[in-house]
Amino acid sequence: MTNKLPAILTAVVLGGSAFAPACGEVALVAADLQSLVAVTQPGWIGMGGSVDTVLPAVQVLALTSSGSAAGLTATLACDTTWNPRGLDRDRAAVVGTTFNDVVSDLWFTRSLSYSLTLGGLVQGTRYTLRAWHNDSYTINSGAAAGGGTVTPTLTGGAVVAATNGTITNLYGSQTDASFGIAMLEFTANGTGATITMTRSGGDFTGIPVSGLQLTTLAVPEPTAFGLACSSIAIAVGWCLRRHSGVHYHYVRFGRGDENHGSPGDLRGGSVDHGRAGQRTGC
């Protein structure tokens, strides 16, 4: 029979994907930056504007329900203005990834950096920001001309881990690995923090921003956490027991016969050979 144990353990321990919140994480901000003619990534919030509209430099991002409940604020800012672009201005859809609709459209600024200022953070709590920088322009490379690197820096916290992102001009069939996602994981040392993303390299004076996602580790209620842990322990224990398929082989001395699965009359003593019986999956 098919052994399902590894799949169960993977679901319990790992969860998530390259861009979605991992098991035990919740998204506080999930901003899909786009024009009005666009498809919003499922579970995200579309931040749109007409392709003929120039948006002010400072934009307050909409929050997920978890972000609102946490009392979070998120403000996106650049030095100039924001220019929405989407499928109605020579951009093409991306397919084959887990974040197709995020990277199919964008806002770009003619500044070489932008910032995300967060409020309502909880001191000592760990947060992770991920940012995508793709321009799916089909005429030329658009705001992604020459590529380049996006480097995240932090003010107002302690950096746990950071990964530079890459600026891409991709559309059509792609994979998650084609996109260099900028990532900054940090611990808040107060109620506020600012993450700055800076472009280096490339032939375009500016930076395309396709989407921003801020996550944090969920803290379940004690009762719910206890029930969840108990359920996981029971499920894993049951699977391990079924998976091992141990068939105890007892021998009754003095009678010469064998009893499979039950000690029976052990007047002459017993020997447990521990012989593996039929293997059964769970």
pLDDT range class, residue 190, cuts 50, 70, 90: very high
Per-residue pLDDT tens for 113-158?
A: 999 999 999 999 999 999 999 999 999 999 999 999 999 999 999 9
| CA–CA distances in Å: residue 136 to residues 116, 132, 225 | 23, 12, 43
Across residues 91-97, what is the average pLDDT?
97
Is residue 170 within 8 Å of 134, Cβ to Cβ? yes
Which residue type sits at 135?
D
Mean pLDDT of all residues in 9-23:
43
Note the pLDDT of residue 231: 52
What's the one-letter identity of residue 260?
A: H
pLDDT of 206 strictly over 80:
yes
Q: What is the pTM of this model?
A: 0.73
Distance CA 74, CA 117 (A): 6
Q: Which amino acid is at 114?
A: Y
pLDDT tens-digit series, residues 55-70: 999 999 999 999 999 9
Nearest to 112 by CA among 149, 164, 165: 149
pLDDT at 106 over 80: yes
DSSP assignment letter at 177: G
The Cα-based distances of 206 to 81, 109, 277 in angstroms read 10, 5, 66
Domain segments of the chain: what residues? 25-217
Q: Which architecture, in CATH terms, is 25-217?
A: Sandwich (2.60)
CA dist list (Å): 5 to 137, 168, 230, 277: 45, 39, 17, 18
| Half-sphere exposure in the Cβ direction for 270 (13 Å, CA) | 16
